[in-house]
């Protein structure tokens, strides 16, 4: 990127937002990205640099303010790289995300005849899982606990994060003081809380084991907190091994409730971070896909069974496919405990052939990671799967994959967004397709 002089300032009119939520202005043939600006605003910016005809800028002053602008609630908003849309009213956030997904699908010539109402929940205190960085500075004799700054590796100290639960164990100023007391504070690199429905697990990622004395300091401090759920302290010393619980001696098995079932989870499992929106999302998926009692379904990228178990309650059999062997074992254990007709299979879903030995499905649900599901699209087309329900956390890869199905004759029946991540530009989308007649 070509750097710009810090003295180069411009007044710009913002007319749109990028997919990342940055303001967009145009002048002649140049385009300007303005983080923190909103459509309809006139702003003063300083130029940071240019790549071809696209300029990166920093917002200096808002000359004319949008009626959608609100005061960010988080005192760390200007530095923390986490929540990037706090300056936009919540209804505006949802509208922006809806428009963003619609634009991505239109670019790939994917027509949506019916848009469902967006699934939303509480805009604050919704997040049940996070990962905070920890750094001990010997020079300053100070401990830092927080999130990364925007476009930086530097940690911003966080006192309270308003998108996390209000539990006293999630007071990061308290954690900084506590870690400062430890002899082994320099080996702690991260704190990862997971608020299950029955307990709050706090996982410390460490470069090497903490001493018994340090562990005692931590557990003594946690015991003094008045929490409305059980607190658990876990340590993770090896990135290739699961964490282990060091307190209490007999912790409650962690679970969250989906479709009336207690699904067991481990602290380092992938779990949707918004519990309320996740429950509504699963309910909508069951309604849209409408599995019949005599049908066989596939659940691809099944995880710990967020969709697999509810599907298995409603049909004659589910094949839950996941690439992580630990998750596959968990799926088998959970389905056996719940007496559900589910078979778990470990397969690489990034390439061809991983589904070749599965029986013909009546419908498929897939919930891939951000990279999408390009590796299984041709398999779905070749099998002529009658119904496909695609749940996506990335609008661009969703549109790319749907284009393959639509080109093969599939028709989109309906689509809708789920605001899983309020205050951020991220969006979850659900699309139902049916195979066309040939």
Active site (catalytic) residues: 393
| Other beta carbons less than 10 A from residue 221's beta carbon | 16
* Residue 429: closest CA among 402, 396, 391: 391
Is 33 flagged in the annotation as binding? no
The reply, when asked if residue 367 is annotated as ligand binding, is yes
- For residue 6, give every residue at least 6 positions away whose Cβ sits within 8 Å of its Cβ, in sequence order, or none: 46
Burial tier of 302 (Cβ tally within 10 Å: 0-12, 13-18, 19+): buried
User: Could you give the CA distance from residue 12 to residue 9 in angstroms, rounded to a whole number?
Assistant: 10
The whole-angstrom separation of Cα 369 and Cα 373 is 8
Q: Is 322 annotated as a binding residue?
A: yes
How many residues in total does the chain contain? 438
- CA 257, CA 195: separation in Å to the nearest integer? 12
* 189, 207 contact by CB (below 8 A): yes
Report the C-alpha gap between 158 and 412 in whole angstroms: 43
| Residues sharing a CB contact under 8 Å with residue 177, sequence separation 6 or more, in sequence order | none
- Whether residue 365 is preceded by a cis peptide bond, meaning omega within 30 degrees of 0, is no
Rounded Cα–Cα distance for residues 165 and 127 (Å): 7
DSSP structure class, residue 168: G
The DSSP H or E segment spanning 220 is: helix 212-223
Residue closest to 56 by CA, chosen among 3, 118, 135, 131? 3
On whether 272 is known to bind a ligand per the annotation, the reply is yes
Tokens matching residue 179 = 């870690």
- Which residue positions form the known binding site for S-adenosyl-L-methionine? 272, 301, 322, 367
């Amino acid at each position: 990127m070509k750097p710009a002089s810090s003295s180069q300032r411009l007044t710009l009119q913002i007319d749109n937002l990028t997919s990342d939520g940055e303001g967009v202005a145009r002048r002649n043939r140049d385009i300007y990205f303005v983080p923190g600006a909103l459509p309809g605003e006139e702003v003063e910016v300083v130029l940071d640099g240019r790549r071809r005809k696209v300029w990166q800028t920093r917002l200096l002053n808002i000359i004319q303010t949008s009626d959608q602008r609100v005061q960010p609630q988080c005192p760390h908003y200007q530095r923390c790289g986490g929540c990037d849309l706090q300056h936009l009213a919540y209804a505006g956030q949802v509208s922006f995300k809806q428009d963003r997904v619609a634009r991505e699908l239109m670019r790939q010539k994917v027509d949506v005849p019916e848009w469902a109402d967006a699934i939303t929940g509480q805009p604050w205190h919704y997040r049940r899982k996070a990962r905070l960085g920890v750094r001990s500075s010997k020079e300053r004799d100070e401990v830092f606990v927080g999130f990364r700054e925007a476009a930086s590796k530097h940690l911003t100290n966080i006192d309270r994060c308003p998108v996390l639960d209000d539990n006293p164990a999630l007071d990061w100023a308290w954690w900084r003081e506590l870690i400062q007391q430890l002899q082994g504070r320099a080996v702690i690199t991260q704190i990862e809380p997971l608020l299950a429905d029955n307990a709050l697990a706090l996982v410390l990622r460490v470069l090497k084991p903490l001493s018994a004395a340090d562990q005692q300091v931590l557990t003594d401090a946690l015991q003094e907190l008045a929490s409305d759920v059980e607190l658990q302290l876990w340590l993770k010393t090896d990135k290739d091994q699961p964490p282990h619980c060091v307190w209490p001696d007999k912790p409650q098995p962690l679970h969250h409730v989906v479709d009336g079932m207690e699904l067991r989870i481990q602290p380092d499992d992938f779990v949707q971070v918004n519990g309320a929106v996740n429950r509504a999302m699963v309910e909508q998926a069951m309604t849209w896909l409408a599995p019949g009692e005599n049908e066989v379904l596939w659940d691809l990228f099944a995880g710990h069974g967020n969709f697999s178990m509810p599907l298995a309650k409603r049909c004659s059999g589910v094949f839950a496919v996941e690439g992580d062997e630990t998750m596959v074992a968990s799926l088998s254990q959970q389905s056996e405990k719940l007496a559900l007709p589910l078979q778990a299979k470990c397969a690489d879903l990034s390439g061809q052939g991983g589904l070749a030995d599965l029986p013909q499905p009546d419908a498929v649900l897939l919930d891939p990671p951000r990279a999408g599901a390009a590796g299984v699209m041709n398999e779905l087309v070749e099998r002529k799967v009658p119904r496909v329900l695609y749940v996506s956390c990335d609008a661009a890869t969703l549109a790319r994959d749907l284009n393959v199905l639509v080109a093969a004759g599939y028709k989109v029946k309906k689509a809708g967004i789920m605001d899983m991540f309020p205050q951020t530009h991220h969006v979850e989308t659900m699309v139902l397709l049916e195979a066309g007649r040939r």
